[in-house]
Amino acid sequence: MTLLLITHWATAQISCSELSDYVKTEGDKLRTYCCFDSEFLTNVDFYSLDIDGEDYYFALVKIDYYKEYIYCVPYSTISNFAMYAFTDQAGEAFHSYIRDYKCNCY
């Protein structure tokens, strides 16, 4: 399953919903940030996933309590976002540290 996932993920043949489900079930949740002071973000969950001995990091971002998006982020994103997660600048931190790392899924 892992090799199949990587192949589909690398060629954008996997839906973002499938990738999110896989990360949630097979990955390790590293941190959860609830963005109480943000009008934009509801929460951000960071996951790691070991694939063939290499670590990959993901941010599952929930917007408006029901829309969820997955981002394939570098490890440094976790600590960069954490500095602003509980402030009214969480939305700006999302745009600065997460938004540009959309996963290769549809």
> What integer pLDDT is reported at residue 60 of this predicted model?
98
Mean pLDDT by 10 residues, the chain (106 residues): 55 86 97 84 94 94 89 97 88 95 93
> What integer pLDDT is reported at residue 72 of this predicted model?
97
Residue 7 lies in a domain: no
Q: Count how many domains the chain has.
A: 1
- Give the chain's largest Cα–Cα span: 40
Phi and psi at residue 21, in whole multiples of 5°? -60, -40
User: Where in the sequence is the domain holding 27, given as residue range(s)?
Assistant: 15-101
Separation of alpha carbons 58 and 19, rounded Å: 10
Look up the pTM and report it.
Answer: 0.86
Residue 32 lies in a domain: yes
Residue 1 lies in a domain: no
Residue 87 lies in a domain: yes
